[in-house]
Amino acid sequence: MIQHPAFTVEPWWIRECRLHLDVLPQTESVFALSNGHIGLRGNLDEGEPHGLPGTYLNSVYELRPLPYAEAGYGYPESGQTVVNITNGKLIRLLVGDEPFDVRYGTLHDHERRLDMRAGTLTRKVHWTSPAGGEIRLSSTRLVSFTHRAVAAVHYEVEPVDQPLSVVVQSELVANETLPGMGEDPRAAAALEAPLELEENTPGTSGVAVMVHCTRASRLRVAAAMRHDIDGPTGTRAEADGGDDVSRLTVATRLKPGERLRLVKYFAYGWSAQRSRPALHDQVVAALAAAHLTGWEGLLSDQRAYLDEFWAGADVEVEGDAEVQQAVRFGLFHLLQSGARLERRPVPGKGLTGSGYDGHAFWDTESFVLPVLTYTHPRSAADALEWRQSILPKAEDRAEQLGLRGAAFPWRTINGEECSGYWPAGTAAFHINADIADAVVRYVDATEDADFERETGVPLLVATARLWSSLGHHDIEGQYRIDGVTGPDEYSAVSDNNVYTNLMAQQNLRAAADACVRHSDRAQELGVGLEEIAIWRDAASAMVIPYDERMAVHPQSEGFTRHAVWDFDSTKPEQYPLLLHFPYFDLYRKQVVKQADLVLALHLRGDAFTPEEKARDFAYYERLTVRDSSLSACTQAVIAAEVGQLDLAYDYLGEAALMDLHDLEKNTRDGVHMASLAGAWTALVAGFGGMRAGNGRMCFSPRLPSGITRLCFRIRYRGRLLRVTVTADTTTYELLHGQALTLSHHGEEFTLDRAPLRRTTPVTPVPATRLRQPPGREPIPRHAAPPSRVTPSPSP
């Protein structure tokens, strides 16, 4: 957790006004820029000091061996790890005869600002070198949303009050030395200097190009740079390079009032198939296009792209400036992770760090895509098309496991399973139903029939086939799914996990329905009426365990008979539990890492009565320790639904501030995409009460005391809606598109041109606040004091 206010609270910016070296690694993640294809951590321009240097290209990974003390059939032998590729953002500076390094000399002023409307990271520095050379420096960095392969830096340096000689070195550097590589010497060896040089053409003729290939995974990566230089007469530029570095050195002498300005354009490309010359040309061409657009053009394109995004996605929160900022921060990073995916995955940390080895998990389908589906639907389609692209590998995996259909990997970059611990990896089959759920949601939200036909049907069929081979009928004809792991990672390999069974049930039905709608496509995939009937039968006979004695749903069969974890004897420093207790002990007791049954209450709310929801939620609140970032947002949604609005508000705070406050102490490894998405979900699905499906969008708005006004935009079936909730009134507006039937707290109405107002019902304050495990209560949410807020209008 960040102990001091690292960032100011402002609605459209994340601003750092002092350089705290203790949180440098965290700020590198928070200030990361990405377009879903390229990711640049918020490293200082000059490279040092740093927490973790990071430049990533989506799906560029190296292989590393996965070792086992005792091997087993079907264990993956090698894993994939995202690699830090050629660093193009590096600009070193020599002032007089001393290198600019914030750890030396005097740093008078420092400001970095992530501008969520401009899509830029700007930096302003006022620094005096140890020898007395005083400069002002400003840089602006962007990763272009409109030029997928391109990033750029606008860099300006000027002397303050005396003439200074200044040398700027703009570089491409590969195989940077990274801090601590983990304990396995073989894995570390695989990841040290993973790039083999194939070409290093210095920028003597303007454009410098470097081409590398990863040592084991054989992915070719090209990086290129070119510059616009603007300095006083006598400014001289030279290009050189060698081994893993390419350099443009610009030397000049600046008088007060003069400045050296450098615009650096850099571009990336990679391929597992294309040749070195092809990639060389690809990046040079990308630079030519960017250079033609120019710096100002890139800036204005960037802003236009974001204006369009915010127009359909923005959430306004009055009464809580921190949450206001955080939800936009979350949406901004979500867009960054998904904007230009083009059939690549959204990793758990986006492209903001190397946490989780850069792997994509179910986080994408169950947390990130529900937000992108209603705000930037093209990205949701892209991510699902990536799943389709790895379908052959998932089918191979299913075959290896003795199953039909597809078994998608628990964690992966290239589509092959990278999980080295099967009870919490391969056994977590729910990921397949989560993918199906994302397909169903996307198709419902967009009516994108082409997508459903081309991508949706194959994914639904492959996952339905998995479920129909994974389950079996018992002697009473009930359909059971035994020995699998649900979302809660403090339980594993149990029978009839309610979440899994309900999601599988939906998966089977959705596959059946989609095959009926696209019977020709179904036929291509070999789906006949008999198979469809088998799916429907399995769905209808699905076992949903219920504990009559306790009047709650057990997370899995037998769960409610297990011993309850001894929370009273667990010390605060023993969380997260998995670092202090063995799995065997966690698995056999009633203790929940993250929403599991409660996630079912959200995603399959139709399967529970309101009374069941209230009882189940209360029961699991006492057991859930939230040692995962995939929990608070779901708890917020259900807390709101059962009328525990202040509790929901606390959970909203936790989800929203996960990274800005570094609540799990690992933001240094990258931001938590799922939790960032959760801020939107807690607001829209929680306090907005939004649920959608089968062409119907329903709202049940209710606000906690800390929020005075909540306004959100949603894209649904070609419409753009705006919903504004206050304590008294909810206003529905159709900003774009044709009339649509909605519901407000169960009352249906048709929304057309004219805004409609409805009363926001009063939610009675609950008699008792629900209990959580001692010490694991969410931080009570108090709105940020208004004095720190800089008001700024919404677009």
d(CA 382, CA 636): 28
Residue 527 to residue 236: CA distance in whole angstroms: 69
- Candidates 243-251, 286-294, 400-408, 634-642 — which segment interacts with a second copy by CB under 8 A? 400-408
CB closer to a second copy, 495 vs 646: 495
Minimum distance, C-beta of residue 544 to a second copy, in the bound complex (Å):
15
Taking CB under 8 A as the rule, does residue 185 contact a second copy? yes
Q: Which stretch binds a second copy (CB under 8 A): 376-384, 414-422, 614-622, 653-661?
A: 414-422
Q: Look-up: residue for tokens 């083999």?
A: 196
Name the residue among 469, 440, 578, 459 with its Cα closest to residue 534. Answer: 469
175 sits near a second copy (criterion: CB under 8 A): no
Q: How near is the Cβ of 558 to a second copy at its closest, in Å? A: 6
Q: How far is the CB of 492 from a second copy (least distance, A)?
A: 8
What lies within 8 Å, CB to CB, of 229 at 6+ separation is 235, 237, 250, 260, 261, 262
Kindly state the smallest distance separating residue 580's Cβ from a second copy, in Å.
6
How many residues bind a second copy, per CB under 8 A?
A: 53
User: Is the Cβ of residue 545 or residue 706 nearer to a second copy in the bound state?
Assistant: 545
Q: Which amino acid is at 410?
A: W
The C-alpha atoms of residue 505 and residue 655 are separated, in whole angstroms, by 29
Q: Which residues are annotated as a binding site?
A: 362-363, 593-594
Which among 3, 48, 1 is positioned nearest to 28, based on CA atoms?
48
Cβ proximity of 53 and 176 under 8 Å: yes
Q: With beta carbons less than 8 A apart as the criterion, state whether 701 and 725 touch.
A: yes
Rule CB under 8 A: say whether 562 interacts with a second copy: yes
Nearest to 330 by CA among 344, 318, 317, 345: 317
DSSP notation for 26-54: HHHHHT-EE-SSEEE----TT--S-S---
Closest by CA position to 639, among listed 777, 782, 747, 490: 777
- Decide: is 186 part of the binding site for a second copy (CB under 8 A): yes
Interface residue with a second copy among 258, 495, 612, 733 (CB under 8 A) is 495
Name the amino acid, one letter, at 494: S
Residues whose CB falls within 8 Å of the CB of residue 98, separated by 6 or more in sequence, listed in order: 104, 105, 129, 130, 131, 133
489 in catalytic set: yes
Contact window for a second copy (CB under 8 A) among 182-190, 194-202, 596-604, 634-642: 182-190
Identity of the residue, 472 or 769, whose beta carbon is nearer to a second copy in the bound complex: 472
For the bound state, the minimum distance from the C-beta of residue 229 to a second copy, rounded and expressed in Å, comes to 49
120-128, 139-147, 362-370, 397-405 -> range binding a second copy (CB under 8 A): 397-405
Stretch that binds a second copy, among 75-83, 112-120, 300-308, 686-694 (CB under 8 A): 75-83
Tell me the closest approach of the beta carbon of residue 590 to a second copy, in angstroms.
10
Asked if 199 interacts with a second copy (CB under 8 A), we say no
Binding-site residue ranges for substrate: 362-363, 593-594
- Can you tell me which of 16, 171, 557, 664 binds a second copy, judged by CB under 8 A? 557
Least distance from C-beta 72 to a second copy, angstroms? 6
* Contact set for a second copy, span 630-649 (CB under 8 A): none
Q: Which of 98, 111, 184, 733 binds a second copy (CB under 8 A)?
A: 184
Write the CA distances from 787 to 14, 266, 279, 772, integer angstroms: 17, 41, 52, 33
| Marked catalytic residue, from 489, 557, 621, 654 | 489
Binding to a second copy by residue 399, rule CB under 8 A? no
Rounded to a whole number of angstroms, the minimum distance from the CB of residue 163 to a second copy is 58
Which member of 472, 757, 771, 782 binds a second copy (CB under 8 A)? 472
The secondary structure element, H or E, covering residue 165 is strand 164-173
- Nearer to a second copy by Cβ, of 174 and 428: the residue is 428
Can you say whether the dihedral through the CA atoms of 546, 548, 549, 552 is positive or negative?
positive
Q: Which residues of 178-197 are buried (b: 16+ CB within 10 A; e: fewer)?
A: beeeeeeeebeebbeebbee
Q: Are 376 and 97 in contact (CB under 8 A)?
A: no
68 near a second copy (CB under 8 A): yes
- The Cα 717–Cα 724 span in angstroms is 20
Q: Does 378 bind a second copy (CB under 8 A)?
A: no
- Contact residue for a second copy among 205, 273, 292, 475 (CB under 8 A): 475
Task: Write out the binding residues for a second copy, residues 693-722 only, by CB under 8 A.
Answer: none
Can residue 474 be called a binding residue for a second copy (CB under 8 A)? yes
d(CA 652, CA 632): 7
Give, for 311, the enclosing helix (H) or strand (E).
helix 276-313
First to last CA, the chain: 32
Kindly tell me which of 417 and 434 has the beta carbon lying closer to a second copy. 417
* Residue (of 776, 779, 423, 772) closest to 574 by Cα position: 776
- Smallest separation, CB 788 to a second copy (Å): 41
Per rule CB under 8 A, is residue 319 in the interface with a second copy? no
- Print the binding letters for residues 415-444 with a second copy: x by CB under 8 A, - otherwise: ----xxxxxx-xx-----------------
Question: Is 482 an interacting residue with respect to a second copy (CB under 8 A)?
Answer: yes
Span from 89-97, 181-189, 316-324, 517-525 in contact with a second copy (CB under 8 A): 181-189
Tally of residues, the chain: 795
- Cα(200)–Cα(243) distance, integer angstroms: 7
Q: How far is the CB of 65 from a second copy (least distance, A)?
A: 9
Residue 481 C-beta: closest distance to a second copy, Å: 9
Q: Does 571 bind a second copy (CB under 8 A)?
A: no
Helix axes 632-641, 673-681, angle to 10 degrees: 10
Give the one residue of 49, 163, 256, 558 binding a second copy; rule: CB under 8 A: 558
By beta-carbon proximity to a second copy, the closer residue of 212 and 411 is 411
Phi and psi (nearest 5°) for 365?
-70, -35
Q: How far is CA 403 from CA 434, 460, 469, in A?
A: 18, 16, 6
Neighbours of 217 (CB within 10 A): 20
Residue 365 is classified by DSSP as I
Neighbours of 143 (CB within 10 A): 29
Token pair of 783, please?
């709105």
Among 15, 92, 349, 480, binds a second copy (CB under 8 A): 480
Among 493, 534, 544, 735, binds a second copy (CB under 8 A): 493
| φ and ψ at residue 401, rounded to 5 degrees | -85, 5
79 lies in the binding site for a second copy (CB under 8 A): yes
Phi and psi at residue 787, to the nearest 5°: -60, -25
Give the contact letters, 578-597, x = binds to a second copy (CB under 8 A), - = no: xxxxxxxx-xxx--------
Phi-psi region of 567 (alpha: psi -120 to 50; beta: other; left: phi over 0): alpha
As measured in angstroms, the least distance from the Cβ of 496 to a second copy is 9
| Residue ranges in contact with a second copy by CB under 8 A | 66-70, 72-76, 79, 184-186, 400-402, 419-424, 426-427, 472, 474-475, 480, 482-484, 492-493, 495, 549-550, 557-558, 561-563, 578-585, 587-589
Q: Which residues are annotated as catalytic?
A: 489
